[in-house]
Amino acid sequence: MTTLSLYAPGTRVYLPRESEEEGWITAEVVTCTKVSADALKLVLRDESGQETTLTGTLPPLRNPPLLESADDLATLSHLNEPSVLYAVQSRYAQRKIYTYSGIVLLAVNPFEPVPLYTPEIVKSYIGRNKGELEPHLFAIAEDAREVRWIFLNSRLKLTDGCDESGAGKTESAKLVMRFIAAPKAPATNADQNSFVDGASLVEQQIQATNPILEAFGNAKTTRNDNSSRFGKFIQLLFDSNRQIVGARVRTYLLERTRISYQTTTERNYHIFYQLCAGLPSKNLESLRISADYSQFHYLNQGGPSSAELSDRDKFHATQDALNIIGIDAGKQTSIFQVLAALLHLGNINITQTRTEAIIEDEDPAMVQAMEFLGVNLTEFKRWTIKKQITTRSEKIATTLTAPQAVQVRDSISRFVYACLFEWLVTAINESLTGKYGDAAARAETHIGVLDIYGFEHFEKNSFEQFCINYANERLQHEFNTYVFKLAQDDYVKEKINWTFIDFDDNQPAIDLMEGKLGILSILDEESRLPLGTDASFLQKLNAQLDKPANKAVYKMPKFANAAFTIAHYALDVTYQVEGFLEKNRDTVPEEQLALLTASSNPFLREVVDTALHRVGEPVEPPSPNGAVSKIPDPGRTSLVGTTGRGTSVKKPTLGSIFKGSLGTLMDMLRTTNVHYIRCLKPNQHKMPWEFHPSQVLAQLRAAGVLETIRISTAGYPSRWTFETFARRYYILIHWREGPPLIKREQWKRITVLVLQKAGIDKSKHQFGETKIFLRTGVLATLEALRSARLNAVLFMQTNMRRLIAMRKYRHFQRSVVAIQSHWRGATARKAFHQALEKSLKEAEAAREAEAAKAAKEAAMAGRESRAGGRKTPTSINDRSTASTGSPSKTKIRKMFSFGSKEKSALVLPDQPSPEPPLIGRQPSRLEAASKRLSRRSWYDTSTSSSRAKSPVKSPNRAKTPNHLAPPAGHSSKMPTPIYDQFMKKPPWNSSTNLLH
């Protein structure tokens, strides 16, 4: 694929901001014009809509959306700084703090507790391969443990280092150890050796090392509240049954100067503050200290001046840990006395006279310190303000100035604390491996966890920062070599053509520091000279190293006379030479050393002996049964080289001690399978979930992650097995070819057809034995083609689904309307018939009531008539007939008016029972007419008396049958409410429309 096609219109790229600290922004190519054979003119539009023109310089390409938040940076098609940074940032925004970068796990500090280490999550990662679940510390630890079982004789190392202080290395190391110390066990032993269901004694002891070493070896710094001020390497030992049997702890370069000096924003070691905050008042009084530690010179130089609640809680945790590893209450009291003695040593008042330094004989701080240390007060005072020079013939005592006497006092404090720290490490190892190393003798394999200080760069950098950065240079070199070796081994294994790739090597910087004529050699030489000074040391450095061959790594600062600069792999660091010689010597006068070894305090004698008498002796005494450990011991170097009690032969400098122990560690790392964990600090303010791109990018560069990616980019960064590649991209070939080949599992054939169909140049890929190797950018091209093919398929599927859905919808709509119509009709008819039936029943009831009433009134009228002696019944409405006994002519005419429309006007008079006819006499005309009228069928005999009195004339009466007559008081039509409700079409209501 040509460069012009890579930057086609619509391509997404990264555009750098005005300053590098602001990071990158995303943009899109608007136009791409070729101005020359190797130059393009691009018009870019960023997120805000602003257009930018670039000529010649090509911006970094963005990855496809599928890969932008990939959990493994090695799978990115475009491996560049902004792509890597954006992937880490996007995952961090999703509360995912872990990301793979090939063999490296990147861990971004969230600066708050996260629910990622619960027993349920621990169980989910046990027995799972790396990549099956989300990136996690436990996945790396499980991978190391599984490889350990496959290669039983190999040694696995999980390393935390080369990272910035405060990035979370110590916490990560603790979590990894906790996971590894809980091996997989059968169901019957699920409650043993597992921190998920219950901790074994060995695991409890391993976990107890963390609070002890943190209390005595960690301190608050400018960038980290719990910074490790020493290097730590822990070996977890396993037997042939996959059970953990013990552990070893090795430490490197404790920062001793912190005992006597801290900056205004830092603190001394945690244990001093825990002691003041956690001990009961009675115990504090016995040690002559208080919770207000501002009264002590060694504690009031930085940090708060009052005890904190967290210090009190952590002190109790430290006490519990000491009990677990076997240090009883009596030994703990002795430890606290030594610590209190160091605090009192710092308060010894040394003043300057005209010619010498003096100390008051009854100085209360000196009295308390000597009481706890068991050292002669007079001799201590004498050799603090004086020094003895030994010549061939005699010994001469000379006086010291006040600053020199203070230096002697502080050197004693630093030495005693270093001896106490070494004694604690020895006690821990005896607890974890046994007094004679029995656990180590039973071990068959091990896993090591290295937690070492990160790269440091402050405003003022001294000897400690030089040693720390020197260790990080060595570790970074091993990291680059290991990553490069893995890539090369993969190429050789797959038998592909491979050309050696050159990469930025930091070996010149290492040679500058540890070479025969390097900085450490010159420093040791100058330290052994009686008249050596920091100025003479710097002068020798410039004379020996300021040469054209070293101009890339050694520099002389322009505005600093007493300093030199080294170009490290991360950045250039300027070191002030003030104090280099004194810190490198770190010696205690022979007279003071003799006083300490002859102390009346048995615990102090044990502590000093443990620290001094280890040269030439094995770290673990030989076992009585003669068993020897198969696991190599990284060793431990003595603080002072001696051949006898208190007799020094040639005191090794601190720099030479550190160089030797670091070399031993590197030799061990080269023989192991290493898993790297890189911890990143997202911001300097320790704010939760706040991400500063410029700071993280600088750490990615310093940690070598970007350099590793560059090495991978130079080769074939994308490596896929044939099956994985074929299953993902087979849709790019003809649809008739793909399924048959998949059915026959011809994965390599599918891979070849895909690359041919995509038009990938042969120089962009190589076929291995089981994998396809792709150059950078090829995967993005394939993803773009795959996305285009899927979009076309999705477009067709979407439209077809739409047509089918619309057809179903219309059929459903018609069905719903028909059902609604039939249902409304049936409901209306049913309601109409019910209303009609009800109306008829009401009308019938009304007629029956009227008939009953009329009959009752007629009966009453008949009784009244009979009571008056009338023989001929008369009409109720015609009272005039009562007197004459016969109806009037007008009434008769009305009675015989059969055409009258008002039938209610005809009233049948109440008649008594018919009299028997007169024998021999013909009925009168009136009697005959009455008889005929009584036989008429239409005559309403139930007419009430009220109708007889007030007849209602209705023009339709003759046309309406009697049994269909409406109730009284109503018209002949159906009542309007019932008719409107059930016979008329109801108004349209959206709530009754089933289609809505």
- Catalytic residues, which ones? 165-166, 170, 224, 227-228, 454, 456
The whole-angstrom separation of Cα 302 and Cα 294 is 10
The region that residue 626 occupies, defined by phi over 0 for left and psi between -120 and 50 for alpha, beta otherwise, is left
How far out from the chain centre does Cα 180 lie?
Answer: 21
The whole-angstrom separation of Cα 230 and Cα 161 is 12
The whole-angstrom separation of Cα 903 and Cα 888 is 19
Contact 61, 78 (CB under 8 A): yes
Contact 453, 163 (CB under 8 A): no
How far out from the chain centre does Cα 627 lie?
Answer: 46
The whole-angstrom separation of Cα 70 and Cα 76 is 7
Please report, for residues 95, 357, 681, the alpha-carbon distance to residue 688 in angstroms, rounded to integers and kept in the order given.
11, 51, 11
Please report, for residues 181, 648, 760, the alpha-carbon distance to residue 773 in angstroms, rounded to integers and kept in the order given.
38, 61, 12
Cβ atoms < 10 Å from Cβ of 912: 12
**Which tokens belong to 63?**
């990855």
Distance between start and end Cα atoms, the chain: 55
The whole-angstrom separation of Cα 626 and Cα 628 is 6
Phi, psi of 644, rounded to the nearest 5 degrees: -150, 180
How far out from the chain centre does Cα 61 lie?
Answer: 28
The whole-angstrom separation of Cα 165 and Cα 702 is 12
Nearest by Cα to 416 from 593, 566, 549: 593
Write the CB contacts of 496 (distance below 8 Å, at least 6 apart in sequence). 716, 766, 767, 768, 773
Contact 95, 69 (CB under 8 A): no
**Which tokens belong to 710?**
């560059």
For helices 463-494 and 705-714, the axis angle rounded to 10 degrees is 30
Please report, for residues 158, 195, 554, the alpha-carbon distance to residue 182 in angstroms, rounded to integers and kept in the order given.
16, 6, 47
For helices 507-514 and 463-494, the axis angle rounded to 10 degrees is 140
User: What DSSP string runs through 605-647?
Assistant: HHHHHHHHTTTTS-SSPPPTT----SSPP-----SS-EEETTE
| Amino acid (one-letter) located at 323 | N
**Which tokens belong to 662?**
């670091």
Contact 696, 90 (CB under 8 A): no
Contact 721, 494 (CB under 8 A): no
Long-range contacts of 499-503 (CB under 8 A, 24+ apart): 501/711, 501/714, 501/715, 503/707, 503/710, 503/711, 503/714
Residue 935, classified by CB atoms within 10 Å of its CB into exposed (0-12), middle (13-18) or buried (19+), is exposed
- Alpha-helical segments (H) within 325-452: 329-346, 364-373, 377-385, 402-433, 438-442
Burial of 604-640, coded b for 16+ CB within 10 Å and e otherwise, reads bebbbebbbbbeeeebbeebeeeeebebebbebbbbb
Q: For the chain, give me the number of helices (H) and strands (E)? A: 34, 25
Nearest by Cα to 74 from 712, 644, 812: 712
